[in-house]
Structure 1
Amino acid sequence: MLELKGITKDYPSGDTVVHALKGISVTFRDREFVSILGQSGCGKTTLLNIIGGLDQYTRGDLVINGRSTKSYLDRDWDTYRNHSVGFVFQSYNLIPHQSVIANVEMALLLSGAPASERRRRAEEALAQVGLADHIHKKPNQLSGGQMQRVAIARAIVNDPEIILADEPTGALDTDTSVEVMEILKRLSRDRLVIMVTHNPQLAEAYSDRIVRIQDGLITSDTDPVDPERERLSAEQIQQHAVADVRKGKRGMSYLSAIGLSFNNLMTKKGRTLLTAFAGSIGIIGIALILSLSDGAQNYIADTEESTMGSYPLTIQQTSMDMASMMTAMMGTSDEVSSANTSGEVESKDLVTDMVSGVANGATENDMEAIKAWLDGNPGDIQDYVTDIQYSYDSPLNVFKSDTSDGVVQVNPATVMDALGFSMSGSTQTEMLSSMSGGSGSAYDVWTPLLANKETWERDYDVVAGRMPESWNEVVVYVDKNDRISDYTLYALGLLDQDELRGMMSDVLAGEKVEAHEKTSYTYDDLLDLTFKIVPESSKYAEDDEGVWQDMSEDTAYMREVVDDADEIRVVGIVRPSEDNEVGSNWGAVLYTPELMEHLIGEVDASAAVAAQRDNPSVDIFTGVTFPDDTEVELDMDAIDAMIEQMPASQGDELRAYIDELRDEGMSDEAIASAFSRQLSNQTDNATYEGNLEKLGVADLDDPYSISIYPIDFEAKEYIDGLIDDYNAQIRADGEGTEIQYTDIVGTMMSSVTDIVNSLTYILISFVAISLVVSSIMIGIITYISVLERTKEIGILRSIGASKRDVSRIFTAETFIIGFVSGVLGILVTVLLDIPANMIIEQVSGVRDLAAVPAGAGAVLVAISVVLSLIAGLAPSRMAAKKDPVTALRTE
């Protein structure tokens, strides 16, 4: 039962108040067709809006099923309009961008009905009003009568208790009006139908009851209701309250709001697309910057990773402070001193500073302790390195297998000796190694592979054959154009080093040097190469008197040693891969770490090493006991005693030499002093350990150098931190030796990444201004949309949409625009990256540099959505606050 008690409604109008209703008291039955008649402006529509919960009364009370509405909250009125009331308007008030069935489903959507149920009930309602064949049409494709019947179907789809019709036939012709009135009459059989009209003929023809109103007051009622007699019992009121609770109200879901907004945006495709494109400009700018920045970072990372293969962190047995030496050489170590006012030229220390700088910075690393520390995987270091390579000072002596034309040593290479350089082998090695910048020697063309075989696939492409599978297999390394330097060809014995003899002298003499004729080799030629590996200890042979002699200059002996040595086979030819930016231009022979381990084992098991270890107090190369002090002071008696200990042949030669010196007039004291000096010089390395080192003995737990290959720059910095922690612990314990290491890459490229990042941030901060402008524009577009859809807001509120539902609809609209802007920005950036990459490749030769990172693209889309939602907050709140009655009057 619906009961109005003294309802008044006042409207402020400027400085005055308009009294639209002046105390309306009327009761309606649950089932009847009531027509409210009156002149325009008499308050009948206001009364209808108050009954429907669209407008609120100023004073009085509206009692619904025995419950006063004075305590109703907004959500109670929303539920009431959605479940208990159905509106039929004179101007139909259909949502134009929704289909017929979608308009009818709207009330069910707001009530939270499942999709399948919504569809079924909407089709039933449309069939009930005779529109079953028009469910997919848009409202503008229907006649006036059909649109009004759609409005009726929408009003009844939720099976409300009350139908409120405001001039339902005001815009219809006579025949159509009769059809609509017949439908309303039929509906009044099982519910209350209240119709506002100014047509007395239709009211008298179809109404069960006519209530006349004038100037805000009821003037007559053809069938008044006795409120006391119709008033519900307490039990009935409770039943209605329980029923209302069961109806509940779930409201519009986000997905439904997005669908509603999407349909609206699709009616304005051009404007929506332009808005989205304008909103995407900032995204395009940032995405382009990120695509270039990320590409540059990836390029740097790839370069760093491949560079790490040639420039690892290097820990040497003896570490020198090369930075101090360079500082001294450049003169930058000279402190600012007082001006020279003596009038004379004073000396300035340069060599002294250089030498003292190196000496002060020279430290001995405890390689055995460092290897043990690394083997313990501190800080999970293995996860941050490509590999850790250990080098040993046991010489890798490699010879050509074919000794028919003589013994040819291919490693350590003798090319520089053939050219006439007078530097020692070690000096040449160090010089050329520093020139190459790598941990391996550029002087020796035999270079170890990393133990991590995954790096083989990364760094090398197999041209022919395969990669090594055992210690005695190697591969030939050529450049990217399948070329190999003549230096390497000379070193490997493929070219005759005799061609180089005297070449340097000819050049210095000003003579023109003719280049050798270019040669080429088939893959099979190189794959047929074999070599022999000769342990350093094999160069020594024991004579008849038990003294071990260096036989490296004895061609016959060395030919026999080489012929009996282990064979090394070339099993493949490789070139640097596309990802290997630091591929060698020299060419090389690459061997596995197992080769060095095998060689160390061979040296360890050799007869010479066994002889020295069996008699550690005697020098096997002289047969003399190792002196306790290298500063030897001898007299002739001591010399005679020493000669007695020597083999007879050596002793006889030495006595003959002493006799010659005496014949030349030297005194015994001078001879003894000369012998003391000579013996002191000869015994500098004449120690047990020195002899083992001379024989090539090495300890696998005590490497000569350690090369750590970080995965990338970040990993290198992490490893730097681990070493710093190690050194800090050494200082804290006061025991052990700190790690001194060389970091060439860190010196060369430490700030490159930071520079790229800084430029990226600066550019993004400028481009981000366009994002703010885009957000403001989206906010304006959303505000315009609110103004355009004001009537739709009123329609939604009339069928039970809450303020939150209305706000959600416009929030969904900004979400869609923001999402489309973000996706469009990323797609446009991807397209722009194509010509950008073409230009970059033409200018720098770097391919496919610019590419939008997937993660960054997703983040940018999310940022676009968030900014759009923020921009749409104010318009959405404004839409939610609109008065539904005022909104419905908007055209």
Structure 2
Amino acid sequence: MLQLKNIRKVYETGDTEVEALKEIDLSFRKSEFVSILGPSGCGKTTLLNIIGGLDRYTSGDLIIDGVSTKEYKDADWDIYRNNSIGFVFQSYNLIPHQTVLSNVELALTLAGVSREERKKRAVEALEKVGLSDQLNKKPNQMSGGQMQRVAIARALVNNPEILLADEPTGALDSETSVQIMELLKEIAKDRLIIMVTHNADLAEKYSTRIVRLLDGSILSDDNPYMIDEQKSQLKKKKKKVSMSFMTALSLSLKNLLTKKTRTLLTAFAGSIGIIGIALILSLSSGMQSYISSMEEDTLSNYPIEIQSQSVDIASMMGSMMEANNKSGVDHKLDKIYSNNITTNMVNTMSEQLSNNDLKQFKSHVEDSKKFKELTNSIKFGYDVQPQIFQSDTDEKILQVNPSDIYEKLGFNSAMGSTGESNNMSAGVSMPGSETWEELIDNPKLLESQYDVLKGTWPKKFNEVVLVIDQNNEVSDSVLYSLGLMDSSELEETVKEIKEGKENIETKSEVSSFSYDEILQTHFKLVSNTDYYVAEDGRWLDKKEDIDYMKDLIGKGTDINIVGIIRQKEEVTSTSISGSIGYLPELTNFVIENNRKSEIAQAQLADKETNVFTGKSFDKETYTQGLTIEDVKQYVATLPMKEQEQAQTMMQMMPEEEVVAMMSEQLANNFDETATYDTNISTLGIIDLENPSSIKLYPKDFESKEELQNLIKKYNDKQKKAGHDEYVINYTDIVGVMIASMTSVIDIISYVLIAFVAISLVVSSIMIGIITYISVLERTKEIGILRSIGASKKDISRVFNAETVIEGFAAGIIGILMTLALNIPINMVIKSLVGVSNISVLPVYGGVGLIIISIILTVVAGFIPAKVAAKKDPVEALRTE
């Protein structure tokens, strides 16, 4: 039931008031066909809009189902229009970019009806008005009568209690008008239809009740109806489900697609800022990745290294500089005084020298998960080198590790072995013994730094790889030391140079080897302890015995080159500094073999006796208990000529004098440097739990700092517990070499992004302006949506959805353009500096920029969306 009580409507225009309706009292039956007649401007449409909830009355009351609407809020009116009212307009008011089916479904969508139910009911409504074959047409493809039928179907689809028709036949010809009136008459059988019309003939013919208006007042009512308010029953309020965001997206997308060119240009303009920021982010990310890779590579070559004995170089240099600064001339200039630079340096080194208990620290490192998380590798070093020889001993015996090639050529580390300096050796450090190097135990990092040109990475303890440079070259010194090149001619040349000969011809042609030749190269491994043979209670060194060495080498363990690796082009630093890389398992194999040998067991069992002499390490007890038999055994070991001389002397002297003289001679020849520890080192006897060095390979500089903090915490803990002997001292080799580069790039990136962000803001404002233009263009659509129950929030949501689509499109275009531009940018950078993929947009960056683009456009479109929501639906419907 619907009742109007004393309804007044006053329009204010400036200081002038116009009274459109004056004290209207009307009640309507549940089902009847009411026609409201009157001249233009008499208030017919205003009355219809007030009944439909599109316009508000100034005073009086509109009672719906026995409920006063005086306290109605916007949401209540929206529910009322969506559930109880169906509008049919003279100009049809269909949304042009929607299909017939979508136009009819729209009211159901606002009511929250499911997709399947929505389509079913819309099709039924269209069948009822005779348009079941026109579902997918657009309104501009239909006649006026067909469009009005669509409007009626839309009004009926939600099964409203009241159908409001504003001049439904005003734009139709006579024949079509009759068809529409017949349709409305049929519909009026089970619901209330209120029609505003100028056509009195049609009204007389089809209406069941005619109400005439004049100047805002009821002139006549040929079938009045009075409501018995005492018998009226209140109906439960219906709930309304708001327009879903997907519906809003659908409406906006279809609208945007009707203006494809403008939409595309707007999105492209909005993408300019995104492109700028994305390019900066690409370069920044690529540079960060490059720096991270460079950090990882650099730190793989310069790890945090802790030696069993270390000197804090930084502290030492600081102490020396402080000492030099304090030194001043505080004496008379009448004599020559010493400047104790060397003494001070030695004293400072002595002060800064510290011993590290690596056994304790190794246990701590192995027990800590944090150390493993922050490092690419943890390498425990031991004072032992694999004793490796060239397998072919027919012509000569060549030890390839540790290599003695430089000694054979006359070069020493800094000074000749005799202490005499020469022009070729003074001050030169030769890396002959650095050809062989233990690999880190991180295959992933190794594979990221090197390409395998031939063969494979080593998998067994006796497999090694040859490392070549980026030009496929290997130093000739390495080839000489490995026996791949014959050094005899070079040795002869060096000898002639030392003798002062002139015009010496040298071999300069370049040698080359096929990959297969290298992979067919084999070496032999012997143990440090295998050089010694037990004779007469002592162990003799047989390294100078050629026959013994040939036999020993022949029985040695095979060492095979199984792969040839080359540093990758984009890698700046690598973890391998030598030319032959072997696995840590080889070191463990050597240590185990050395330890279980007979001579090692003998020395470990007796710490007081030197196994090489069979005598005590103590000088005082060295000659005690010497007998004439001991003397005879010693003489038997001398060369034949010396044996004859000694035997003649022994025959001429009493035994006591011979023993005394020999004791004195042995005491004078006593090697005070021979100790238990030096013998253990010579024999390569190693305790795996007590390394001589620990190398920590950080993943990056941040990890390096965290590792340093972990070491500091360890030291603080030991100091607090009173264990100063466990405190670790070390020198940071890398320092802050490139630590600040990341910060610099970040600062530059932020500054550039700040500048480019201006264009992003400008483009967002432009999208806001475009959205406002869209609001103006779609004003009538706003009125249509409001007439079928869309709330202000729904209208706002429609235009917010439009800005979301524009922002998403701008973001996508920006990202795609950036990815396309990155290709030539990387090509140019590659050609200029030789670094690949320096401009790479990260996935998170691309997704983030799309989200930012959407947020900015939504913010920019917020005001236009609010303007759209506040539009008066009646005025909006009048817009053309």
CA contact (8 A) 1:83 1:160 kept: yes
Provide the C-alpha distance between the structure 1 equivalents of 2:429 and 2:728, rounded to a whole number of angstroms. Answer: 24
CA contact (8 A) 1:479 1:586 kept: no
Say which of 373, 398, 404 aligns to 2:394.
404
SS at match of 2:610: coil
**1:55 matched residue in structure 2:** 55
**2:751 matched residue in structure 1:** 762
Q: CA deviation at 1:626?
A: 2.3
1:838 is aligned to 2:808: no
1:168 is aligned to 2:160: no
**1:666 matched residue in structure 2:** none
Matches within 5 A, 1:450-849: 450-455=440-445, 457-501=447-491, 503=493, 514-544=506-536, 546-577=537-568, 581-582=572-573, 588-627=579-618, 647-648=631-632, 682-683=671-672, 685-735=673-723, 736-849=725-838
**2:376 matched residue in structure 1:** 386
CA contact (8 A) 1:387 1:450 kept: yes
Q: CA deviation at 1:119?
A: 1.7
TM-score, with length taken from structure 1: 0.88
CA contact (8 A) 1:485 1:585 kept: no
Provide the C-alpha distance between the structure 2 equivalents of 1:768 and 1:621, rounded to a whole number of angstroms. Answer: 79
Matches within 5 A, 1:29-108: 29-108=29-108
Provide the C-alpha distance between the structure 2 equivalents of 1:104 and 1:232, rounded to a whole number of angstroms. Answer: 38
Q: CA deviation at 1:94?
A: 1.4
CA contact (8 A) 2:300 2:574 kept: no
Q: Map Cα deviations across residues 329-364 of structure 1 (whole Å, 9 max, x no partner).
A: 9x6984388899989999876545544443333221
1:310 is aligned to 2:308: no
**2:8 matched residue in structure 1:** 8
SS at match of 1:500: helix
CA contact (8 A) 1:278 1:774 kept: yes
Q: Map Cα deviations across residues 202-234 of structure 1 (whole Å, 9 max, x no partner).
A: 222222221111121111111111333xx5725
Q: CA deviation at 1:528?
A: 3.0
User: What is the identity, as a one-letter code, of the residue corresponding to 1:284?
Assistant: I
Q: CA deviation at 1:319?
A: 1.4
1:372 is aligned to 2:363: yes
Q: Select between 51-60 and 761-770 the one with higher mean Cα deviation.
A: 761-770
1:856 is aligned to 2:845: yes
CA contact (8 A) 2:782 2:873 kept: yes
SS at match of 2:783: helix
CA contact (8 A) 2:308 2:355 kept: yes
Matches within 5 A, 1:121-136: 121-136=121-136
Provide the C-alpha distance between the structure 1 equivalents of 2:432 and 2:865, rounded to a whole number of angstroms. Answer: 71
SS at match of 2:48: helix
**2:653 matched residue in structure 1:** none
Provide the C-alpha distance between the structure 2 equivalents of 1:190 and 1:640, rounded to a whole number of angstroms. Answer: 135
1:359 is aligned to 2:350: yes
Q: Select between 357-366 and 91-100 the one with higher mean Cα deviation.
A: 357-366
Aligned residues: 849
Q: Flag the 1:104–1:350 CA change in 2: closer, same or farther, 3 A.
A: farther
CA contact (8 A) 1:468 1:572 kept: yes
CA contact (8 A) 2:383 2:692 kept: yes
Q: Flag the 1:558–1:386 CA change in 2: closer, same or farther, 3 A.
A: same
User: What is the identity, as a one-letter code, of the residue corresponding to 1:496?
Assistant: D
CA contact (8 A) 1:313 1:744 kept: yes
SS at match of 2:469: coil
Q: Map Cα deviations across residues 600-621 of structure 1 (whole Å, 9 max, x no partner).
A: 1222223332332333212233
SS at match of 2:726: coil
SS at match of 1:780: helix
Q: Flag the 1:806–1:627 CA change in 2: closer, same or farther, 3 A.
A: same
Q: CA deviation at 1:386?
A: 2.6
Q: CA deviation at 1:756?
A: 2.1
SS at match of 2:840: coil
Say which of 873, 877, 880 aligns to 2:862.
873
Provide the C-alpha distance between the structure 2 equivalents of 1:27 and 1:725, rounded to a whole number of angstroms. Answer: 89
Provide the C-alpha distance between the structure 2 equivalents of 1:587 and 1:747, rounded to a whole number of angstroms. Answer: 25
Q: CA deviation at 1:290?
A: 1.2
**1:297 matched residue in structure 2:** 288
User: What is the identity, as a one-letter code, of the residue corresponding to 1:401?
Assistant: S
Q: Select between 97-106 and 642-651 the one with higher mean Cα deviation.
A: 642-651
Q: CA deviation at 1:489?
A: 0.9
Q: Select between 801-810 and 186-195 the one with higher mean Cα deviation.
A: 186-195
Q: Map Cα deviations across residues 751-790 of structure 1 (whole Å, 9 max, x no partner).
A: 2222222222222222222222222222222222112211
User: What is the identity, as a one-letter code, of the residue corresponding to 2:512?
Assistant: S
SS at match of 1:490: helix
Q: CA deviation at 1:173?
A: 2.6
CA contact (8 A) 1:473 1:569 kept: yes
Q: Flag the 1:53–1:339 CA change in 2: closer, same or farther, 3 A.
A: farther
Provide the C-alpha distance between the structure 2 equivalents of 1:51 and 1:606, rounded to a whole number of angstroms. Answer: 110
What are structure 2's unaligned runs of at least 5 residues? 418-424, 650-660
Matches within 5 A, 1:278-297: 278-297=269-288
Q: Select between 642-651 and 523-532 the one with higher mean Cα deviation.
A: 642-651
TM-score, with length taken from structure 2: 0.89
Provide the C-alpha distance between the structure 1 equivalents of 2:841 and 2:468, rounded to a whole number of angstroms. Answer: 35
CA contact (8 A) 1:22 1:217 kept: yes
Q: Map Cα deviations across residues 103-126 of structure 1 (whole Å, 9 max, x no partner).
A: 111111111111122222222222
Provide the C-alpha distance between the structure 2 equivalents of 1:739 and 1:103, rounded to a whole number of angstroms. Answer: 80
CA contact (8 A) 2:299 2:697 kept: yes
User: What is the identity, as a one-letter code, of the residue corresponding to 2:582?
Assistant: Y
**1:24 matched residue in structure 2:** 24
**1:146 matched residue in structure 2:** 146
SS at match of 2:98: coil
CA contact (8 A) 1:484 1:586 kept: no
SS at match of 2:616: coil
Provide the C-alpha distance between the structure 2 equivalents of 1:830 and 1:506, rounded to a whole number of angstroms. Answer: 65
Provide the C-alpha distance between the structure 1 equivalents of 2:311 and 2:580, rounded to a whole number of angstroms. Answer: 29
What are structure 1's unaligned runs of at least 5 residues? 660-670
Q: Select between 829-838 and 602-611 the one with higher mean Cα deviation.
A: 602-611
SS at match of 1:309: helix
Provide the C-alpha distance between the structure 2 equivalents of 1:384 and 1:399, rounded to a whole number of angstroms. Answer: 38
1:275 is aligned to 2:266: yes
Provide the C-alpha distance between the structure 2 equivalents of 1:150 and 1:26, rounded to a whole number of angstroms. Answer: 30
Q: CA deviation at 1:797?
A: 0.6
Q: Select between 696-705 and 472-481 the one with higher mean Cα deviation.
A: 472-481
**1:665 matched residue in structure 2:** none
Provide the C-alpha distance between the structure 2 equivalents of 1:387 and 1:415, rounded to a whole number of angstroms. Answer: 32
Q: Map Cα deviations across residues 233-276 of structure 1 (whole Å, 9 max, x no partner).
A: 25xx14xx13x43xx21121010010001111111111111111
Q: Select between 837-846 and 134-143 the one with higher mean Cα deviation.
A: 134-143
CA contact (8 A) 1:479 1:584 kept: no
Provide the C-alpha distance between the structure 2 equivalents of 1:355 and 1:645, rounded to a whole number of angstroms. Answer: 49
Provide the C-alpha distance between the structure 2 equivalents of 1:584 and 1:451, rounded to a whole number of angstroms. Answer: 11
Q: CA deviation at 1:747?
A: 3.8
Q: Map Cα deviations across residues 665-702 of structure 1 (whole Å, 9 max, x no partner).
A: xxxxxx99x9999768x31x322222212222211111
Q: Flag the 1:310–1:132 CA change in 2: closer, same or farther, 3 A.
A: same
User: What is the identity, as a one-letter code, of the residue corresponding to 1:704?
Assistant: S
User: What is the identity, as a one-letter code, of the residue corresponding to 1:27?
Assistant: S
User: What is the identity, as a one-letter code, of the residue corresponding to 2:676?
Assistant: Y
User: What is the identity, as a one-letter code, of the residue corresponding to 2:166?
Assistant: D
Provide the C-alpha distance between the structure 2 equivalents of 1:436 and 1:249, rounded to a whole number of angstroms. Answer: 89
CA contact (8 A) 2:63 2:69 kept: yes
**Aligned-pair identity (%):** 49
CA contact (8 A) 2:53 2:81 kept: yes
Q: CA deviation at 1:827?
A: 0.5
Provide the C-alpha distance between the structure 2 equivalents of 1:675 and 1:760, rounded to a whole number of angstroms. Answer: 79
**2:656 matched residue in structure 1:** none
**1:263 matched residue in structure 2:** 254
